[in-house]
Amino acid sequence: MKREAPALDTVQQWFQAVVTHPEGVAAGSAADEAQRLIRLDRGELETIVRRSRNLTAEERLSIYANAYWARLLECLGDCFPVLKQALGEDVFDSFGFEYLQRYPSRSYTLDRLGESFPRFLDETRPPDADWPDFLVDLARLEWTLAKVFDGPGVEGQALVRPDDLAGIAPERFAAARLVPVVCLRLLVSRYPVNAYYTAARHAEEGAEEGKDVPIPEPGEELVAILRRDFVVRRYTLSRPQYALLTALLDGAPVGEALAAAAAASDLDDDGLAVALQAWFRFWTAEGFFHRLDD
Amino acid sequence: MDARGARLGHQNLGLGVGLRSVHFDHILRTTPDVDWFEIISENYVDSGGRPRYVLQQLAERYAIVMHGVSLSIGANDPLDHEYLKKLKTLAREVNARWISDHLCWTGVLGRNTHDLLPVPFTEQTLRHVVERIRIVQDVLERPFVLENPSSYVTFTGSTMEEHEFISRMAEEADCGLLLDVNNVYVSSFNHDLDPEVFIRALPHERIVQFHLAGHSNYVTHLIDTHDGHVIDPVWDLYRLAHQLTGGVSTLLEWDAKIPPFPVLHDEVLKAKRFMGDNLPAEPQGEADLVAAASSPMSPISPISPISPTPHPLHHIRPEIE
């Protein structure tokens, strides 16, 4: 049947509906969304798309349909390699397949493809189960690592060094604001996903290649993440360290941040004072702070 | 011949390769004798980390061309001006010789399929694309070049051949062309057309750049996978295109199963053999034979997990201690 050529906007909306349909081209072209745009009876695909000598219109459209899912699942897997390893490819792809239907890409860049994946895992978790926390937290960790890797950084800029804090009077230090580097992120996890991440990478790269890393037992883990010399670094934190850095990230004066650390600490004053000195020495050596604002 | 002469007056940069992150360390360490690099724009426009830093280092030494996959010049959706602005900023930063993308659309209704989807070749599409190219040129204020993509379908509503569409588009919008010789081969095979007719029909003085790449042969169709060597018939087309244009900047793309840098570089240097009357010295076409031997002969199943992933797929893996 000869039909009038549909307008460009109609063709494109129809094409997209057909090749991104989760059940493939035949189901996509029969679905309401495509039918509202171009009404086709069974076997009429070739009134819109030509067949070739070797392939039917449906087979040709399926090249795009296959590529759509394969490409985006591959990219999503690249965003969350350790989560994919933990779940296994089939399970990861089944989560990814659902995710891409609920959160299709709306950006010019694939770098944002996984942005809502942790949230999706949280939204679709089975009720009354704790283990999804592991998946959500691991996804959140991997997404944060990726963002820190290619986000704003402080390479080439002067940072606060250990000696910079040595001679400052206590009152002045307490009133000052110690500004963290722009790439510092803090994460609280319900499972030790950072430790798991390290073990999984060792298993992948080292002598234990191919060996499965067991899913850990639940347990709070606090982590600081930053980038130095273009490489992402991870630091496990204690509760008082986390409280202190959180307060500094929130823009609190150092005195308030120290009070937050003290409130979270079991150490006596002397013990805490010694610990604080060691923490600041370590953090400044590692490039945690951009500047000290009086 | 256009009054500006061959290549619209743009320089022939020589033989270049696509910059891929797996080669960053090698390139920085050895500063290979490559004429120029082409980057995938989307990998750098938002980068605040090592990719952009590396690019800045390379831009001080090498000529850079920006090649995008998200402009969606053929889409019915509005142009993404935030994206264009970022392209312009990066182009200024790295002194991009020109900016290219594909004659395609990538999604509508706000979605991005991240694929290079085919347009119907109609008068309506032509008017639409020409108008948008003019807008892009006005915004970018830098030479703008469009590439013929590989395609796997044609529309019954098309009223002209792809080469006619591209020729008219380039003339009416006054833009340059990036002739992807491999894409001509892939699309011509898929659409039962003669690739030589396509190449001969183009306005050769508007061709600013060539692309070369490998593809996968699935017997019933070819897929533009950029995962292997350039095969003999594509080199033959390259020789023809070189004769017709007088030679333009030539770039090899390799996006999957990426080999060590020297292999990549050697591959593009083979182009020298086709710039004169020389024939290739060694048998080629292994990529076709290997793919054909292992390719599925049955019709393509929907959402097959083993389906090939055509270009473009670009994601830079983070470096984490």
Q: What does the pLDDT average to over A249-266?
A: 97
Q: Which residues, other chains included, contact A127 with Cβ-Cβ below 8 Å and sequence gap of 6+?
A: none
Q: How confident is the model at residue A208 (pLDDT cuts 50, 70, 90)?
A: low
> For residue B282, is pLDDT > 90?
no
Q: Which residues, other chains included, contact B258 with Cβ-Cβ below 8 Å and sequence gap of 6+?
A: B20, B22, B23, B264
> For residue A136, is pLDDT > 90?
yes
Q: How confident is the model at residue B117 (pLDDT cuts 50, 70, 90)?
A: very high
* Among B48, B111, B321, beta carbon nearest to A233: B321
Q: What does the pLDDT average to over B96-108?
A: 98
User: Measured between alpha carbons, how far is B88 from A65 in angstroms, rounded to an integer?
Assistant: 32
Across chain A, mean pLDDT equals 95
Q: Which residues, other chains included, contact A140 with Cβ-Cβ below 8 Å and sequence gap of 6+?
A: A118, A187, A189
At which residue do the structure tokens 């030679």 appear? Answer: B247
- A-B contacts (CB, under 8 Å): 203
Question: A151-193+219-293: which CATH architecture?
Answer: Alpha-Beta Complex (3.90)
pLDDT for B197:
98
pLDDT for B320:
78
A57 interfaces chain B, CB cutoff of 8 Å:
yes
Higher local confidence (pLDDT), A101 or B5: A101
A176-196 CB burial, b ≥16 within 10 A, e <16: bbbbbbebbbbbebebbbbbb
Query: pLDDT tens digits for B188-220?
Result: 999 999 999 999 999 999 999 999 999 999 999
Q: Domain residues of chain A, as ranges?
A: 1-74, 151-193+219-293
Q: List Cα–Cα distances, A78 to A72, A81, A113, A215, B290, in angstroms.
A: 10, 5, 10, 20, 26
Does domain B6-293 fall under CATH 3.20.20.150? My reply is yes
Q: List Cα–Cα distances, A257 to A235, A284, B108, in angstroms.
A: 19, 16, 49
Q: Could you tell me whether strands A221-228 and A185-189 are parallel, antiparallel, or unpaired per DSSP bridges?
A: antiparallel
User: Measured between alpha carbons, how far is A3 from B314 in angstroms, rounded to an integer?
Assistant: 39
| Of B201, B292, B282, B301, nearest in space to B241 by CA | B201
> For residue B309, is pLDDT > 90?
no
Give residue A42's Cα distance to chain centre. Answer: 42
pLDDT for B319:
80
User: Measured between alpha carbons, how far is B191 from B131 in angstroms, rounded to an integer?
Assistant: 28
Q: Domain residues of chain B, as ranges?
A: 6-293
> 3-state class of B126 per DSSP?
helix
Query: pLDDT tens digits for B133-179?
Result: 999 999 999 999 999 999 999 999 999 999 999 999 999 999 999 99
Nearest residue of A to residue B123 by CA position? A8
A5 interfaces chain B, CB cutoff of 8 Å:
yes
Report pTM: 0.91
Chain B (81-120) residues lying within 8 Å, Cβ to Cβ, of chain A = 83, 105, 107-115, 117, 119-120
Q: How confident is the model at residue B283 (pLDDT cuts 50, 70, 90)?
A: very low
| Of B282, B301, B280, B201, nearest in space to B244 by CA | B201
pLDDT for B173:
98
Q: Which residues, other chains included, contact B225 with Cβ-Cβ below 8 Å and sequence gap of 6+?
A: B214, B215, B216, B255, B256, B308, B309, B310, B311
> For residue A169, is pLDDT > 50?
yes
Rg (CA), chain A: 26
Q: How confident is the model at residue A204 (pLDDT cuts 50, 70, 90)?
A: confident
**Beta-carbon separation of B108 and A56 below 8 A:** no
pLDDT for B313:
57
pLDDT for A294:
85
> For residue B253, is pLDDT > 80?
yes
Q: What share of chain A is helix, strand, coil (3-state, %, to 5)?
A: 55, 10, 35
Give residue A264's Cα distance to chain centre. Answer: 28
